Amino acid sequence: MGIKRIMLLGAGGQVGQALRAETLPADWELGAYTHAECDITNHRAVQETIQKFRPDLVINSAAMTAVDKCETEQEQATAANFRGPANLAAQCSAIDAPLIHLSTDYVFDGTDGGKPYRADDKMNPVNFYGHTKMMGEEAIRHEHGWHVILRVSSVFGAYGTNLLTKMLQTIDTRDEIKSVTDQISGPTPSQDVAKTLIAITNAIMVGKTNGFGTFHLCGEPPATRLEFAQEIMKAYAPYTTRRPSILPALTSDFPGFAPRPPYSVLECSKIREIYGIAQKPWRDGLAEAMQILMQGRRQVA
Ligand SMILES: NC(=O)c1ccc[n+]([C@@H]2O[C@H](COP(=O)([O-])OP(=O)(O)OC[C@H]3O[C@@H](n4cnc5c(N)ncnc54)[C@H](OP(=O)(O)O)[C@@H]3O)[C@@H](O)[C@H]2O)c1
């Protein structure tokens, strides 16, 4: 095969930016579209973009990801996370282009007693974001056989707004930070998600036929939000004189937020067996992201 025409939607988000920051395979032509350039809820916009770019494969990293906002802006969340992916899958099916779609650990309720979730475990979301992402997954399965649904969790990195960049801002501005010990997940560097998307795309483009279906990817080991916050402080310490206290808290200390699954660690054996992609330590991804973010900043100690 010659040039592979790969279409990326949601290109302005953190995963979209991380993918564009990778050195892409020489035989790729990437058509990257931000929200403003192609709204996946707009049937005609998607149709025109597809007709113009003529993709061999489509990657969808577009979504409404603000979990609490999804609770209050349900129509917008349903459009972005359910109707948009459904529309996209139908249009990909019509042109026989495989679709790689990102989903989330929040499709699970997280009450499984500390057992990582397998890709075929029963979904049972506890918040509206998870509900819309589950419906998006189901619509894709219904519309298009050639799909890969890649569930990831607690994505962070050097690009966009995410758990890492928000924590750095909090360290800069607060003397006391409370972080919960009763939400556990596998933090996932956005660069690892990007590399995985590239590897899956390449495998499918050279004719891998057993690579469709639902897969999990997250960093290891599992961590509470508190542990993750403490590691961020450690990684940031050489660049700042700020030393806020980072204190343990419980989810119930923060009323008014959408419920979160208490334990949503993803079991990642399927992606290793089918694609040869192994889980990586998220601390390595944190170090890499910090290097990018702190470029040009002098160490203070
Ligand atoms: N972030 C996490 O911790 C996390 C965890 C698990 C799974 N995921 C999944 O990973 C994927 C990528 O997320 P991310 O972290 O990169 O999120 P992100 O940074 O919020 O990026 C999502 C992008 O999608 C765009 N978007 C929203 N609605 C759209 C629409 N109707 N049409 C086209 N683009 C639209 C957003 O643009 P605007 O900002 O302009 O709206 C944004 O640029 C999503 O499927 C998400 O559900 C993320």
Q: Which residue is catalytic, options 106, 117, 129, 275?
A: 129
Nearest to 7 by CA among 97, 85, 84, 80: 97
Q: What is the pLDDT of residues 27-76, one digit of tens each?
A: 999 999 999 999 999 999 999 999 999 999 999 999 999 999 999 999 99
What ligand 1 atom has the least distance to the C-alpha of 162?
1
Nearest to 33 by CA among 55, 63, 12, 47: 12
Q: Indicate the Cα dihedral angle 154, 31, 100, 206, nearest 10°.
A: -130
Domains and CATH numbers, the chain: 4-160+188-219+265-279 (3.40.50.720)
The terminus-to-terminus CA distance of the chain in angstroms comes to: 53
Instruction: Tell the residue nearest (CA) to atom 8 of ligand 1.
Output: 104
Please give the pLDDT value at position 113.
79
pLDDT of 88 > 70? The answer is: yes
Q: What is the pLDDT of residues 277-291, one digit of tens each?
A: 999 999 999 999 999
Taking the centre of ligand 1 as the mean of its atom positions, its distance from the CA of residue 301, in whole angstroms, is 37
- Distance from C-alpha of 85 to C-alpha of 99, rounded to nearest angstrom: 10
Q: Could you confirm whether 275 is annotated as catalytic?
A: no
Please give the pLDDT value at position 164.
98
Pocket-forming residues, ligand 1, beta carbon under 6 Å: 9-10, 12-16, 35, 39-41, 61-65, 80, 84, 102, 104, 133, 152-155, 160, 162
What are the structure tokens assigned to 219, written together? Answer: 């960093």
What average pLDDT does the structure give for the chain? Answer: 97
Q: What is the pLDDT of residues 119-144, one digit of tens each?
A: 999 999 999 999 999 999 999 999 99
Residue 137: burial class (beta carbons within 10 Å; 0-12, 13-18, 19+): buried
Please give the pLDDT value at position 114.
87
